[in-house]
Structure 1
Amino acid sequence: MNPPNKTHHPVVILGAGPAGLTAGYELLKQGIQTVVLEQADKVGGISRTETYKGYRFDIGGHRFFTKVPEVQQIWQEILKDEFIKVPRMSRIYYGGNFYDYPLSIVNTLSNLGIIPSVLILLSYLKARFKAKLNPDSEPETFEEWVTDRFGARLYRTFFKTYTEKVWGIPCNKIRADWAAQRIQGLSLKKAVINALFGSNNTKTLIKEFDYPRLGPGMMWERAQEILEQHGSPVHLDTSVTRIERSGTQITKIIAERGEETLELTGDQFISSLPVTALVMKLDPPAPAHVLEAASGLKYRDFLIVSLVINQADLFPDNWLYIHSPEFKVGRIQNFKNWSPEMVPDLQKTCLGMEYFCNRGDALWGLSDKALIDLASREIVELGLVNNPQDIEDGVVIRQLKAYPVYDGEYRQHLQVLQDYLKTFDNLQTVGRNGMHRYNNQDHSMLTAMLAARNVLGENHDLWNVNVERSYHEEFTKDEWTSAKSLTPVRLSLEPSKITT
C-alpha cells in the first residue's frame, strides 16, 4: 500500500455543494486558502446539473431567488451576465384536471365545481373561527398546521396526497416545522386576493426568477474553477472515511481517492456532509447517546427519470405537481422552459419525471429500464404526451439523502447532535444536510457565509439562522453589520468560460 498523502490546510471543507463552495469562495476573498473534499464526480450536490447526450437537467429544479442581498451578490459575482430571467409557471394535477398555481378563481371553480368550492370555503371559515377561539393552540403536525390555515377540505383535496407521496409517511407523522418552512406566508386569503386583484407578495408565489442559462450546476462549476485557479483545490471522487478528534478539536481527515489515501490536517473544519454521516465517521466514536440520535434521523431519497420527447412543445409550465395518488410520479420538470439551452435540439423536449422513495423500497429497486417504462407510461396516461412513439430516450439519476425528514422524533434527535457538535472548537456544520434542515439554496449559502465569518473571528450561531429570517431583508441589518466592515482581498476572479 502506498504511503498516505499528507497535507495541511488552514480550512478543510467537506462537501462541494452550494454550502461548501460558498464557504470556500468567501474565505478565498479574504485571502484564506481551503481544500474541498467531494465524494461525487461533480460539484453542486443536489444543485448540480446532469448531462445526457447533450440534454442538461436539474436534480429537482432550482430557482435563483433570495431576499438576502449578500447571497444575490455572490451569484452575480460568480456568473455575472450568465443569468436569464425566467417567468414562473406551475400547475397542480389532481383528479384529472390541471389547477393554476397561484390560485385562479375561474380555473378552480371550473375544475372543482360550485358545490365543492363552497364546501372548501365553509371549511376554511370553520377552521379560522376555531383558530380564533383557541389562539394559543400550536399545531404539532403537518396535518394540523395545514388544516388550521386552509380548512380540512382543502387539506384533503390538495395537500394530503402530494405530501404523503413526497415523504412516504402519513401527514399526522410529519412535524409542523416542515410546513412552516415550506408553505410560509401563504394563506387561502392571500391566494384569493392575489387571484382577484393580481397582488403577489408571497415569496412562494414569485412570478419571475433568475436562472443560469446552462442550469444551476453552472454556478457551482464556475465556483470550483475560481477556487482552483487561486490555489484552493476541490478534490472530486474523494470519500471521507474517518474524522479524527482529540478533546474539543478535530485534528485530521482521512479520505480515499481511488487507490490514494489522503491525510488532511487543518486549523478549521466546515462540513456540509449529512450530519448523521459526520457523527458516524468520528474517531474516537461519539458517545453512545449521540450515535443513537444520529441513527434516529431519517432522509427521503429521490430519483429522476429524464425523458427525451420528439415534440417541440408539450406544456408551458416550468414544472407540474402531480397530486393524484394513482400516479407514482410526484413532480414533472420541463427543462426547456427553464432555459432553451438545456436542450441541444429545440424541436425536442426533455422532461424530468421525479419520484420520491427510499433506498431499498420497491420503486428504488426497479431497474433503469423499468423506471423509464414507468415514466413513459405515466406521462402518456397524464395526457401530456399523446403518442408513446414520440418518447425517444431516457436516463435515470438516483439521489440519496435528498430531503431531511421532519418526523415526530427528528427534533429531539437533532438537538442531541447539535448540542454535541457545538462542543467542538474548530468544527462548523452548514447547509441542508449538514444541519438537517429542509431549506432552500440561499439558506445553505447563508449558513456557509456566516461560517466563513466565524473563521475570521466573528461569533455567529449558525443553528439560529433559519429560513424565515433569511427571507426577510431586515435580517441583514442585524447580522451583517460587522461582516460588511471586512474588506475583501483583491483577486482577479475571472475563470475561463464554461461551454456547452
Structure 2
Amino acid sequence: MTIGFDKTVQNSTVHQYDVDVAIIGAGPSGLTAGYLLSRQGYKVAIIEKDPHYVGGISRTVEHEGYRFDIGGHRFFSKSQQVVDLWNEILPDDFIQRPRMSRIYYEGKFYSYPLRAFEALRNLGIWRSATCMMSYVWSRMFPIREVRSFEDWTSNQFGKKLYSIFFKTYTEKVWGMPCNEMSADWAAQRIKGLSLGAAVLDGFKRSLGLNKKPNDGMATKTLLETFRYPRLGPGMMWEAARDKIRAAGGLVLMDHALKQLASDGEGGWRMTATHGADGNDIVIRAGHAISSAPMRELAARLHPLPETTLEASKLRYRDFLTVALKIKAEDLFPDNWIYIHDSKVRVGRIQNFRSWSPEMVPDEDVACVGLEYFCFEGDDLWASSDDALIELATREMATLGLVDPKQVIGGAVVRQEKAYPVYDDDYAANVAAMREELERVHPTLHMVGRNGMHRYNNQDHAMMTAMLTVENIIAGERVYDIWCVNEDAEYHEAGNEGAAKTIPARPGRRAVSEDQQAALDSVRAVPERAKSSNRKAA
C-alpha cells in the first residue's frame, strides 16, 4: 500500500506521507496504538529515533548472540484486554518462568517485595527490636503533613526500616535525597504492604496457625510464575512492528522528531530527521499520538504551548546496563536482585538466564546485567564501555558474587529518560501541560510512560494506547487515559486478567454494555469514524 509521495523542494527531494495517524515513538504504547489502528484499516506512520531496535525501554539488545532485557519485564497484567493483545501479537513464543527477586543487604538476601517478618528475623534481635520500636513510634506519632517519599515510607514502616531497606536504593535510582521526592511514587509502588499485618501473620505462622505465604500483603497474592517471550520482550515489539508493516503502515527507524506543527484545521504536519543522512521527511495526519517525553514534545510543538516553561522543568533519570559474561554456573536463581549497599554504585543485577535460557547461548557461561542509575552526561554516562565493564567486574567482587578472573567479556547498553522523576513540582507541571493540550489540540494524544510523565509499567503504557485508539475511533475522548494506573497497587499482586472494566472520563457514567457495544460497532466500520476525523489531503 502506497501512503506517501515525494515532493521536490529547492532541488532536494522531501519524502511526504499522508496518513490518518502519525505516531511518535516505537515503544510499547506507540506500537500498540499503531497495531490496533492498522488492524482497523487506518493508515499509520510511526517514527522511532533508534536506528536498530523497537520497543523503547522494553527492547531486547543482542550482542554476540547474548540478549539483554533493558530493565527486566515480566509479562503480567491485571487487564484481560492487555493479556489478550499479548496473545494475539505473539501467540506461540511465550514461556512460563519462575518469579524470584530479592534484596541484597550486608551479605544476606531478603525477599522482595519485603516480607517484614523475615526481614526482622534476618536483622537479628537487637536491630529488629529497634526497628519495631521505630515502627510503633511512627504509628503513635506519624508525620501529619506527608510531602516526601521519606515521610510516607517512614510513616508506613518506621524510620529505622526505611533507612535500611528504602533510602539507599531509592536514592541510587533517583539521584536525589528521599526528602525531595514526591510521596506519590511511594504510594504508587509500595501500596498495600503492611508491617503490622506481616508481623502479626509471622507470629501466627510460628504457632502453626497460618500456612499462607508471609508477604505482608494480607489480601493479595504475589505471582509465583510469569510469562515471558523466549527471546526477550523485544520479540513482542518486533512482531508488532512486522504486523503493522504487513498491514501497510510505516515504521520509520532512525527518524527523530524535529517539529510537530498544527495545520490550523485540527490536523498535524510532523517533520522528522533521518539520523543517517540528516534529511527530513514530512508526515501529514489527522491525529498525532506522542510517546515522546513531555518536555521534548513541548519544545517541538508549533506553535509553542503556553506551558512550555512548566514542561521544561520536568526531569528524567537515565540508566545503563553493564552485561558481564562469566565463566561459571548461574550465580543466583533470581530474575534480579536489588543491591542495598552504599559501598557500590550498582543498583540492581539481572540474571538473564533466569528470564529465559534462550537469552544465554552458552550453557557454561552465566550472563548478568548490572544496572547503574545516572543522569545523561554525568561521570557514569560519559565513561567508556571498557571502564564501565571494569567497574562492574570490581563491584561484583566487592559484593562477593564473583571472582574477577571468571569474567570473560561484557557489553554496555545506555537508556536515556528511563524514569520520569517525581519531584515536588512534577504533578503541577504535568497537569498544566495536559490541560492546555487537551483543550487546544483535541487531536493530539499523549500516551505511555514518558508521554504522560508517569511511572507506568509496560501493560499500563499499552492500556493508555488502547484507550486512545478507542477515543480516535469514537471521534471524542470517551475514555480518560489518565485514570490508568492512577490508583495502582503493587503490579505483581493479584490475578492476571482480573480487571475487566475500562475507566471513563470524569463526570461520565461508567461504560455500560450498550455503550461498549456501540464502540464495538464503530470499530467494525472504521471508515465511518475516519471520514469525520481525518483531515482532507
TM-score normalised by structure 2 residue count? 0.85
Tell me which residue corresponds to 1:325: 342
Tell me which residue corresponds to 2:283: 264
Q: Give the C-alpha shift of residue 483 in structure 1.
A: 4.3
Structural mapping, 1:174-323, within 5 Å: 174-192=181-199, 196=205, 197-199=211-213, 205-247=222-264, 249-257=266-274, 258-259=276-277, 260-287=279-306, 290-323=307-340
Tell me which residue corresponds to 1:10: 20
Matched position secondary structure for 1:162: helix
Matched position secondary structure for 2:154: helix
Tell me which residue corresponds to 1:114: 125
Cα pair 2:80 2:500 within 8 Å, conserved? no
Relative to structure 1, the CA distance from residue 389 to residue 336 in structure 2 (aligned partners, 3 Å threshold; closer, same or farther) is: same
State the one-letter code of the partner of 1:418. Answer: R
Relative to structure 1, the CA distance from residue 194 to residue 480 in structure 2 (aligned partners, 3 Å threshold; closer, same or farther) is: farther
Tell me which residue corresponds to 2:520: 486
Cα pair 1:372 1:396 within 8 Å, conserved? yes
Q: Give the C-alpha shift of residue 140 in structure 1.
A: 1.5
Cα pair 1:243 1:282 within 8 Å, conserved? yes
State the one-letter code of the partner of 2:20. Answer: P
Tell me which residue corresponds to 1:19: 29
State the one-letter code of the partner of 2:72. Answer: G
Say whether 1:446 aligns with 2:460.
no
Q: Select which of 377, 381, 388 maps to 1:360.
A: 377
Matched position secondary structure for 1:81: coil
Tell me which residue corresponds to 2:487: 468
Matched position secondary structure for 1:446: helix
Q: Give the C-alpha shift of residue 479 in structure 1.
A: 5.1
Q: Select which of 86, 96, 117 maps to 1:85.
A: 96
Q: Select which of 158, 164, 167 maps to 1:151.
A: 158
Identify which range, 391-400 or 75-84, moves more after superposition: 75-84
Q: Give the C-alpha shift of residue 107 in structure 1.
A: 5.0
State the one-letter code of the partner of 1:84. Answer: I
Identify which range, 356-365 or 455-464, moves more after superposition: 455-464
Q: Distance between the aligned counterparts of 2:155 and 2:39, measured in 1?
A: 47
Say whether 1:371 aligns with 2:388.
yes
State the one-letter code of the partner of 1:419. Answer: E
Q: Distance between the aligned counterparts of 1:73 and 1:361, measured in 2?
A: 41
Relative to structure 1, the CA distance from residue 479 to residue 343 in structure 2 (aligned partners, 3 Å threshold; closer, same or farther) is: farther
Say whether 1:381 aligns with 2:398.
yes
| Number of aligned residues | 483
Relative to structure 1, the CA distance from residue 190 to residue 247 in structure 2 (aligned partners, 3 Å threshold; closer, same or farther) is: farther
Matched position secondary structure for 1:468: coil
Cα pair 1:304 1:353 within 8 Å, conserved? yes
Cα pair 2:116 2:195 within 8 Å, conserved? no
Say whether 1:34 aligns with 2:60.
no
Q: Deviations over 1:346-376 (max 9, x none)?
A: 2111100000000121221211111100000
Unaligned runs of 5+ in 2: 1-10, 206-210, 492-497, 504-509, 526-537
Q: Distance between the aligned counterparts of 1:80 and 1:120, measured in 2?
A: 48
Say whether 1:413 aligns with 2:413.
no
Matched position secondary structure for 1:397: strand
Tell me which residue corresponds to 2:443: 426
Q: Give the C-alpha shift of residue 190 in structure 1.
A: 4.6
Q: Distance between the aligned counterparts of 1:107 and 1:187, measured in 2?
A: 13
Structural mapping, 1:135-150, within 5 Å: 137=144, 139-150=146-157
Q: Give the C-alpha shift of residue 2 in structure 1.
A: 2.2
Tell me which residue corresponds to 1:402: 418
State the one-letter code of the partner of 1:473. Answer: A
Identify which range, 147-156 or 250-259, moves more after superposition: 250-259
Q: Give the C-alpha shift of residue 138 in structure 1.
A: 5.3
After the TM superposition, list the runs of 4 or more consecutive aligned residues in structure 1 that deviate by more than 6 angstroms. none
Tell me which residue corresponds to 2:530: none
Tell me which residue corresponds to 2:533: none
Q: Deviations over 1:191-242 (max 9, x none)?
A: 4467644346677943221111111111100100111111112111111111
Q: Give the C-alpha shift of residue 17 in structure 1.
A: 0.3
Q: Deviations over 1:151-209 (max 9, x none)?
A: 11110111011101111100010001111111122222354467644346677943221
Q: Give the C-alpha shift of residue 18 in structure 1.
A: 0.3
Say whether 1:165 aligns with 2:172.
yes
Q: Distance between the aligned counterparts of 2:488 and 2:43, measured in 1?
A: 30
Q: Give the C-alpha shift of residue 21 in structure 1.
A: 0.6
Q: Distance between the aligned counterparts of 2:369 and 2:47, measured in 1?
A: 29
Q: Deviations over 1:2-58 (max 9, x none)?
A: 221111101111110000011112212322221111111211000000011110011
TM-score normalised by structure 1 residue count? 0.91
Say whether 1:73 aligns with 2:84.
yes
Q: Select which of 391, 408, 415 maps to 2:407.
A: 391
Q: CA RMSD in A?
A: 2.3
Cα pair 2:39 2:247 within 8 Å, conserved? no
Cα pair 1:139 1:145 within 8 Å, conserved? yes
Tell me which residue corresponds to 1:128: 139
Cα pair 1:18 1:445 within 8 Å, conserved? yes
